[in-house]
């Protein structure tokens, strides 16, 4: 008799422990702890080496524009001559001096791709092909850097 009782108590004890774990996991799932989008940052940028993207926003809908704030990390002044995002059809061409300690903001013309014109405020964008062309003030050579920006439409 004692062997059967011992086995039953063993199974019941582990049964309660497993039930407790299931309840805890269920509560954590309902609070969204295992949802990766809850923990991901809303805005991400990267891939650039001589410039840094400080901030960015893209307005949704027809006539939406992309705004990007750049900071120079190269060490000497550069002149940004073009900013293009193929995914959004956004572009800017001009001449904007970017010194080491003076960030600048560039606003592109109206974006013409359906990823922007058909977007709604709050939906996510992922522009993984932003190209920035600049000229180095010391060497007078032109360079193009590619990076990405991710965020939510404004």
Helix, strand, coil percent values for the chain (each to nearest 5)? 25, 40, 35
Cβ pair 58, 125 in contact under 8 A: yes
pLDDT band at 17 (very low <50, low <70, confident <90, very high): very high
Q: Is the pLDDT of residue 101 over 90?
A: no
pLDDT value, residue 38: 63
Among 9-13, 29-33, 41-45, 74-78, which stretch is predicted with the lowest mean pLDDT?
A: 41-45
**pTM of structure:** 0.68
Rounded to whole angstroms, the Cα distance separating 85 from 128 reads 8
Q: How far separated are the first and last CA of the chain, in Å rounded?
A: 71
Query: Can you read off the two tokens belonging to residue 137?
Result: 């003030």
Q: Is the pLDDT of residue 83 over 80?
A: yes
Residue spans of the domains in the chain: they are 2-38, 42-152
Q: pLDDT tens digits for 139-148?
A: 889 999 998 8
Q: Is the pLDDT of residue 61 over 90?
A: no
> Average pLDDT, stretch 100-123?
80
Please check whether the domain covering 42-152 is classified as CATH 3.10.450. no
């Amino acid at each position: 008799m004692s062997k059967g009782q011992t086995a039953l108590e063993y199974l019941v004890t582990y049964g309660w422990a497993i039930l407790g774990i299931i309840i805890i996991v269920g509560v954590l799932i309902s609070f969204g702890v295992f949802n990766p989008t809850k923990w991901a940052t809303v805005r991400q940028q990267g891939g650039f080496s001589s410039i840094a993207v400080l901030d960015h926003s893209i307005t949704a809908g027809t006539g939406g524009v992309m705004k990007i704030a750049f900071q120079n990390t190269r060490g000497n002044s550069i002149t940004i001559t073009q900013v293009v995002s193929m995914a959004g059809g956004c572009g800017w061409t001009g001449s904007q001096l970017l010194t080491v300690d003076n960030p600048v903001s560039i606003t592109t013309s109206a974006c013409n791709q359906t990823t922007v014109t058909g977007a709604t405020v709050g939906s996510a964008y992922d522009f993984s092909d932003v190209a920035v062309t600049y000229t180095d003030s010391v060497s007078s050579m032109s360079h193009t850097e590619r990076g990405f920006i991710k965020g939510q439409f404004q």
